[in-house]
Amino acid sequence: MSTISKPLFLKLLYIFFFFCYSVSLSWSSSLSLHFPLTSLRLTPTTNSSSFKTSLLSRRNPSPPSSPYTFRSNIKYSMALILSLPIGTPSQSQELVLDTGSQLSWIQCHPKKIKKPLPPPTTSFDPSLSSSFSDLPCSHPLCKPRIPDFTLPTSCDSNRLCHYSYFYADGTFAEGNLVKEKFTFSNSQTTPPLILGCAKESTDEKGILGMNLGRLSFISQAKISKFSYCIPTRSNRPGLASTGSFYLGDNPNSRGFKYVSLLTFPQSQRMPNLDPLAYTVPLQGIRIGQKRLNIPGSVFRPDAGGSGQTMVDSGSEFTHLVDVAYDKVKEEIVRLVGSRLKKGYVYGSTADMCFDGNHSMEIGRLIGDLVFEFGRGVEILVEKQSLLVNVGGGIHCVGIGRSSMLGAASNIIGNVHQQNLWVEFDVTNRRVGFSKAECRLLP
């Protein structure tokens, strides 16, 4: 996992053996908060996506859970970044919004950032917050009866609970587990939540863990739903692209179309299933007018958990298991094979790439890319927005091979969630989509 240089989904969080028993899906939302959301991108791209849906009835929206809202302007890069107020008095912290992670963690002072990354521009100073507290070694999370390999903890020399996250791409974050409040206003303060206070990391921003685990932000804060609108990425360096993020009810939700989250028996939770992910019923893929000959079983977990399809805001590219990826590449080769950049692989997973500034022309030759979900819901990536600018004059189809990550899942990355409202309705176990125009700011 790297919040700046590599996709965020490179995690060792694919197997959650010991947290899944405590996930509760009957939370009630205690906050309704609105944040403009910025999708941060160091490498400019020209990708944009739109959404097409039909034949899906809508449920009546729930009554508002809170009269309060909160707004904040933030920056632009390849990850989705929120600037949140933490502590008492609050200190603004930049966090990567990650629906594929459980534990939230912040950059704490003092810290050591490994080269070549510069020190973070914002860092939390625990000494300035009256609501900050460390977790002692005696806390049950620090001394579980069964060791939790998704959150390795130990007792440090100060008898405080120490955690370490080591990710598959070589990045890491480690520090102490602590409790701290998110203080949005005098009348909007969460209870103390467990999060990591990183003293060392290879990344300059923290993580806002938003999956279904008991330690995620939404679980601890009892948030029933959240949603975001990811803006189109700009091809011009330095252009800030800003969208929106809601905790609680979204005033735009009347137009959302929903698919139900998939659930699985206990026997399917090992070894490859992530039971805390937002797993959706992907049914097929179209390129142009052609529906690819991919068995539907490829997109559903098998007895060992391989094949689930998850929506992950922390992943940049979409990734597919080998059977699906091979069919997509076969069609791309048939249509524009002579133009593929031979021997080039982006991010160690994506090899459908092209040289030069002909992305629009190549996109027209390929056609639209469509992800088909259950009940008529589709995510449409239009042909003019199909290729992603990865720098150096190279453009790639925004799809990688999951097996090159050591993963056995299909992952819908944020590059294919642009210009959509995406709502995670935890209480009703569903994900909603709606076409949107997420505003580009100059």
Please state the three-class secondary structure of 250-316 as a single string.
Answer: CCCHHHCEEEECCCCCHHHCCCCCCCCCCECCEEEEEECCEECCCCHHHHCCCCCCCCCEEECCCCC
pLDDT of 163 above 60: yes
pLDDT digits (tens, 9 = 90+) for 390-404: 888 999 999 999 999
| pTM listed for this prediction | 0.83
At residue 266 the predicted structure's pLDDT band, cuts being 50, 70 and 90, is confident
CATH architecture entry for 257-435: Beta Barrel (2.40)
pLDDT more than 90, % of the chain: 48
> d(Cα 163, Cα 135) in Å, to the nearest integer?
11
How, if at all, do strands 399-401 and 318-320 pair?
Answer: parallel
> Under the phi-then-psi rule, with left for phi > 0, alpha for psi from -120 to 50, and beta for the rest, what region is 275?
alpha
> d(Cα 28, Cα 34) in Å, to the nearest integer?
17
Mean pLDDT of all residues belonging to the chain: 80
Residues 43-54 have a mean pLDDT of 36
120-124, 202-206, 215-219, 401-405: segment of lowest average pLDDT: 120-124
Phi, psi of 374 (to 5 degrees): -70, 155
pLDDT of 49 above 50: no
Sheet with 309-311: list strands edge to edge. 309-311, 410-412, 318-320, 399-401
pLDDT of 241 above 90: no
At residue 326 the predicted structure's pLDDT band, cuts being 50, 70 and 90, is very high
- The listed range with the strongest mean pLDDT (226-240, 252-266, 299-313) is 299-313
Annotated active-site residue 322? The verdict is no
- Look at residue 149 in the predicted model and tell me its pLDDT: 58
Annotated active-site residue 98? The verdict is yes
- Look at residue 43 in the predicted model and tell me its pLDDT: 36
- Look at residue 40 in the predicted model and tell me its pLDDT: 47
> d(Cα 386, Cα 420) in Å, to the nearest integer?
16
At residue 77 the predicted structure's pLDDT band, cuts being 50, 70 and 90, is low
Residues 221-231 have a mean pLDDT of 89
- Look at residue 381 in the predicted model and tell me its pLDDT: 92
Asked whether 92 and 84 are in contact (CB, 8 A), the reply is yes
Return the bridge partners of 243, or none.
Answer: 37
Asked whether 159 and 230 are in contact (CB, 8 A), the reply is no
Domain boundaries, the chain: 76-110+121-223, 257-435
* Higher local confidence (pLDDT), 422 or 243: 422
- Look at residue 146 in the predicted model and tell me its pLDDT: 58
Please state at what angle helix 322-336 crosses helix 359-366, rounded to 10 degrees: 110
CATH class for the domain made up of 76-110+121-223: mainly beta
- Give the closest residue to 184 by CA, choosing from 84, 310, 63, 259: 84
Residues 153-168 have a mean pLDDT of 84
Is there a shared CATH topology between the 76-110+121-223 domain and the 257-435 domain? yes
- Look at residue 441 in the predicted model and tell me its pLDDT: 41
Residues 195-200 have a mean pLDDT of 94
* SS3 at position 383: helix
pLDDT digits (tens, 9 = 90+) for 277-315: 999 999 999 999 999 999 999 999 998 889 999 999 988
pLDDT of 126 above 90: yes
> d(Cα 241, Cα 229) in Å, to the nearest integer?
11
CA geometry: angle at 405 spanning 411 and 372, to 5°? 20
* Dihedral (Cα; 334, 340, 343, 347), 10-degree rounding: -100
- Look at residue 292 in the predicted model and tell me its pLDDT: 98
> d(Cα 166, Cα 106) in Å, to the nearest integer?
16
- The listed range with the strongest mean pLDDT (87-101, 112-126, 226-240) is 87-101
- Look at residue 361 in the predicted model and tell me its pLDDT: 94
- Look at residue 251 in the predicted model and tell me its pLDDT: 86
- Look at residue 11 in the predicted model and tell me its pLDDT: 43
CA separation (Å) from 327 to 65, 330, 351, 374, 398? 45, 5, 13, 20, 15
* Higher local confidence (pLDDT), 13 or 251: 251
Annotated catalytic residue: which of 203, 249, 312, 425?
Answer: 312
pLDDT of 143 above 80: no
> d(Cα 275, Cα 409) in Å, to the nearest integer?
12
pLDDT of 76 above 50: no
